[in-house]
């Protein structure tokens, strides 16, 4: 395993981290938590010492499974995370609600402290400011009590907004979505974090499955390697000097082996050089929907992720027909509901890729 320093914390962490949101669905549903816990245990055997957890993952069982594994290893051998925010605790949660959430996470993880506690899912500067006013103080208190070790945040903001958060100097690290689809869009954010001595952890390195589902579009990442497209996509992210940890969501031990192979003999490079290396390769990647689902809840009932996923096919192929084929053949829905959009803007404000959803729906409706 290849190790990196986590910002200025002095912690040495594995270049691959375990994303704990992909424990086997059937095992979770059947309550076979001990079996699921074999995944983090195997990950640690392979040198992966950073386990990223949160409430709600795996039908809200991820922390329980991760805790079973954590209780079987030397606590100081693993860095474990969890997360909290307003959105998941109702509109105006009290300090007690945050406290209870943290205590529940500690209890489930079977530990006295969490190494990295995230102010979770800051979608934009407005939401970040709201969290700073109320939640940051709670984090500081929890830290002074020794319940959490490092205050970090996770975000879907663009690079320049991330820069503003980073400059406050209030965080030891951050977790962001970064991959071969959106790297140009977030590059300045990871550079700013690195320069400010922060750790940078990357989620969604496979672009919500878009990369493995469209291997031909991403074959260029494998040039000069014996890696598969998903492995090359992990390596692409991990090779950024500014990125500390690349999270791999693993269901099986083979997934862990694949991720470990992706960083064998890793060579780090500054983001600038990587962006130059790939400047003339790939499709217009920042324009793709990653299927994250944050735009759900359209007042007109439009299934936006399905429409935007179908629009991706136009970006890949350049053909209008590919959109209709995807809607009809893959999702089994008609294009007509696209015309119901009233342009309220709710979805665009929530979109993690900042896509022009309204415009795209108009285009689809007119096909």
Tell me the CA distances in angstroms from 23 to 26, 56, 102, 324, one per residue in order.
9, 12, 22, 34
Whether 51 and 36 have beta carbons less than 8 Å apart is answered as no
Site string for ligand SF4, 271-290 (x = CB under 6 A): ------------------xx
Name the nearest CA neighbour of 335 among 360, 298, 299: 360
From the list 206, 295, 323, 364, which residue makes contact with ligand SF4 (rule: CB under 6 A)? 295
Q: What angle do CA 348, 352, 357 make, to 5 degrees?
A: 30
Specify the residue, 143 or 349, whose C-beta has the smaller distance to ligand SF4. 349
Please report how close the Cβ of residue 273 comes to ligand SF4 at its closest, in angstroms: 28
Specify the residue, 276 or 340, whose C-beta has the smaller distance to ligand SF4. 340
Specify the residue, 31 or 299, whose C-beta has the smaller distance to ligand SF4. 299
Q: 102 — alpha (psi -120 to 50), left (phi > 0) or beta?
A: alpha
Name the nearest CA neighbour of 49 among 27, 73, 33, 23: 73
Spell out the residues 6+ positions from residue 273 whose beta carbon is closer than 8 angstroms to its own: none
β-strand pairing of 114-122 with 245-249: unpaired
Q: Name which of residues 69 to 108 contact ligand SF4 (CB under 6 A).
A: none
Please report how close the Cβ of residue 365 comes to ligand SF4 at its closest, in angstroms: 11
Long-range contacts of 334-337 (CB under 8 A, 24+ apart): 335/364, 335/365, 335/367, 336/365, 337/300, 337/301, 337/302, 337/303
Please report how close the Cβ of residue 304 comes to ligand SF4 at its closest, in angstroms: 5
Q: Does 292 interact with ligand SF4 (rule: CB under 6 A)?
A: yes
Please report how close the Cβ of residue 349 comes to ligand SF4 at its closest, in angstroms: 9
Tell me the CA distances in angstroms from 67 to 51, 55, 262, 312, one per residue in order.
10, 12, 27, 38
Specify the residue, 9 or 352, whose C-beta has the smaller distance to ligand SF4. 352
Give the separation between CA 71 and CA 68, rounded to whole angstroms: 5
Give the separation between CA 117 and CA 113, rounded to whole angstroms: 10
Please report how close the Cβ of residue 95 comes to ligand SF4 at its closest, in angstroms: 30
Tell me the CA distances in angstroms from 210 to 49, 122, 175, 204, 205, one per residue in order.
27, 23, 20, 10, 10
Q: Name which of residues 191 to 210 contact ligand SF4 (CB under 6 A).
A: none
Specify the residue, 174 or 304, whose C-beta has the smaller distance to ligand SF4. 304
Tell me the CA distances in angstroms from 126 to 32, 123, 133, one per residue in order.
41, 8, 11
Please report how close the Cβ of residue 50 comes to ligand SF4 at its closest, in angstroms: 25
Specify the residue, 156 or 194, whose C-beta has the smaller distance to ligand SF4. 156
Around 111, how many Cα atoms within 13 Å sit in the side-chain half-sphere? Answer: 32
Specify the residue, 255 or 306, whose C-beta has the smaller distance to ligand SF4. 306
Specify the residue, 29 or 343, whose C-beta has the smaller distance to ligand SF4. 343
Please report how close the Cβ of residue 148 comes to ligand SF4 at its closest, in angstroms: 29
Q: Does 2 interact with ligand SF4 (rule: CB under 6 A)?
A: no
Q: Name which of residues 297 to 326 contact ligand SF4 (CB under 6 A).
A: 298-300, 302, 304-305, 308
Q: Name which of residues 333 to 362 contact ligand SF4 (CB under 6 A).
A: 341-347, 350-353, 355, 357-358, 361
Specify the residue, 256 or 357, whose C-beta has the smaller distance to ligand SF4. 357
Q: Does 291 interact with ligand SF4 (rule: CB under 6 A)?
A: yes
Please report how close the Cβ of residue 346 comes to ligand SF4 at its closest, in angstroms: 4
Name the nearest CA neighbour of 181 among 202, 152, 154: 202
From the list 294, 317, 322, 362, which residue makes contact with ligand SF4 (rule: CB under 6 A)? 294
Around 75, how many Cα atoms within 13 Å sit in the side-chain half-sphere? Answer: 11
* Alpha-helical segments (H) within 51-207: 57-60, 62-70, 95-109, 125-144, 159-167, 183-195
Site string for ligand SF4, 118-157 (x = CB under 6 A): ----------------------------------------
Instruction: Give me the residues that bind ligand SF4 (CB under 6 A), please.
Output: 289-295, 298-300, 302, 304-305, 308, 341-347, 350-353, 355, 357-358, 361
């Amino acid at each position: 395993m290849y190790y990196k320093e986590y910002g200025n914390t002095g912690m040495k962490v594995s270049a691959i981290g375990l994303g704990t949101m992909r424990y086997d669905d059937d095992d979770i549903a059947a309550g076979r938590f001990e079996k699921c816990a074999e995944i983090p245990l195997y990950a640690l055997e392979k040198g992966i010492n950073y386990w990223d957890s949160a409430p709600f993952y795996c039908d809200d069982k991820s922390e329980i499974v991760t805790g079973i594994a954590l209780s079987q290893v030397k606590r100081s051998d693993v860095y474990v995370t969890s997360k909290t925010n307003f959105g998941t605790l109702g509109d105006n949660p009290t300090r007690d609600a945050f406290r209870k959430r943290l205590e529940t996470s500690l209890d489930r993880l079977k530990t006295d402290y969490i190494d990295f506690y995230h102010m979770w899912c800051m979608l934009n500067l407005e939401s970040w400011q709201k969290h700073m006013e109320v939640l940051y103080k709670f984090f500081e208190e929890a830290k002074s009590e020794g319940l959490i070790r490092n205050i970090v945040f996770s975000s879907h903001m663009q690079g320049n907004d991330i820069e503003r958060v980073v400059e406050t100097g209030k965080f030891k690290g951050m977790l962001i979505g970064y991959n071969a689809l959106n790297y140009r869009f977030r590059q300045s954010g990871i550079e700013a974090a690195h320069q400010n001595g922060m750790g940078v952890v990357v989620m969604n390195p496979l672009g919500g499955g878009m990369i493995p589902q469209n291997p031909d579009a991403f074959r260029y990442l494998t040039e000069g390697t014996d890696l598969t497209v998903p492995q090359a996509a992990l390596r692409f992210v991990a090779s950024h000097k500014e990125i500390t940890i690349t999270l791999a969501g693993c269901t099986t031990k083979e997934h862990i082996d694949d991720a470990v192979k992706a960083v064998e003999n890793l060579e780090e490079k500054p983001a600038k050089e990587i962006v130059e290396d790939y400047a003339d390769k790939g499709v217009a990647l920042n324009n793709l929907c990653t299927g994250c689902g944050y735009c759900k809840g359209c007042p007109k009932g439009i299934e936006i992720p399905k429409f935007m996923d179908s629009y991706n096919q136009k970006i890949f192929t350049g053909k209008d027909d590919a959109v209709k084929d995807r809607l009809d053949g893959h999702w089994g829905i008609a294009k007509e509901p696209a015309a119901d959009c009233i342009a309220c803007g709710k979805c665009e404000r929530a979109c993690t890729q900042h896509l022009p959803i309204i415009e795209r729906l108009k285009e689809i409706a007119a096909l």
